[in-house]
Amino acid sequence: MFFRWDWLRPQLTAPIAPTLGPIHPDALTVGIFEDVLQAADTGDFLSYDKDQRWGGEKDEKVLREDVVHQREHTLIPTLTRRGRGTVKVFAYGLRNSVINEAAELATKLAAAHDVADARVVRPLRRETTHPRGTRIQLKDFTTGPCPAPDGPVRPVTAWPATVQNTFAPFAETMAADGLAFLHTQMQAGQCGPVLATAIEDRIVGAIGPLEVRADAIGRPQLMPQYFAVLPETRGQGIGRILWQAAMHWGQAHGAAYQLLQTEVGGPSDRLCCSEGLASLGFSRMTHV
């Protein structure tokens, strides 16, 4: 075993793991980090990796020979070749000096692997004041019912053909939110249902795909979704109705929970906070 849990556990200020993203606190064990190292050797997806849904090969991998694991801090670098390439160093530690050490390592490894981008990812406690970056939020389906909302929300495939045909231009408009990628997966029949709402026979918001998979300890998890509403139609409650419909679907299909990452202060963040989700901490990523 590479990692000492008695060193690493106190450093985990937020439940986030390299290449995997947020992890339920109950599933956050030293085994997760050991699995990530092993996957770097094999190149395979872990069975509970959310990216496994899209098939192909795992793009982001830990640079295991460059991991720094000490009593006071742990630095775990990852490499992706997507685009012009990126090195990210996940900086676990309570002292602020861990940021400078992580930045130095990220810069060195980006040069060594001839990639254009070097970043540091710093998990932060949920008690952090004036946080920036993304908030990790937990929706627990076991604490109460998630009723279906009132409103015109249905799977894209359940809308009339004339409405379905408006999804492609909607997805292209919202490409920055991942909807164009989602549309390609829908066309290939490689994902679960996508819910959409329409105004005057035109799709203006969507959330999906909706899929439930087992996490690292076998608990059913509603997987993360792409979620977008056209800017000109915001402020009408469309996002809330879509989100509530997705949560109703997740609970009805046996999910125990969902983990979400929302941009602090953004529309999704405000929505999730108003819906009573539990904040598990933050993740701040900086370019170096």
Distance CA 251, CA 267 (A): 23
Output the pLDDT for position 254.
Answer: 98
Residue 69, classified by CB atoms within 10 Å of its CB into exposed (0-12), middle (13-18) or buried (19+), is middle
Distance CA 149, CA 200 (A): 20
Cα 166-172-175 angle, rounded to 5 deg: 135
Q: Phi then psi for 271, rounded to 5 degrees?
A: -65, -50
53-62: list long-range contacts, CB under 8 Å, 24+ apart.
53/190, 53/191, 53/209, 53/211, 53/213, 53/223, 54/185, 54/190, 55/190, 58/19, 60/18, 60/19, 60/88, 61/19, 62/18, 62/19, 62/36, 62/37
Output the pLDDT for position 37.
Answer: 94
Asked if the model's pLDDT at residue 55 lies above 80, the reply is: no
Domains and CATH numbers, the chain: 5-127 (no CATH), 143-255 (3.40.630.30)
Distance CA 54, CA 60 (A): 14
Residue 151: which pLDDT band, with cuts at 50, 70 and 90? Answer: confident
Q: Phi then psi for 249, rounded to 5 degrees?
A: -60, -45
Structure tokens at 190: 């490689």
Tens digit of each residue's pLDDT (9 = 90 or more) over 101-130: 999 999 999 999 999 999 999 999 999 999
- Average pLDDT of the chain to the nearest whole number: 95
Output the pLDDT for position 42.
Answer: 84
Tens digit of each residue's pLDDT (9 = 90 or more) over 242-269: 999 999 999 999 999 999 999 999 988 9
Question: Model pTM?
Answer: 0.92
Percent of all residues in the chain with a pLDDT value above 90, rounded to a whole number: 91
Output the pLDDT for position 250.
Answer: 98
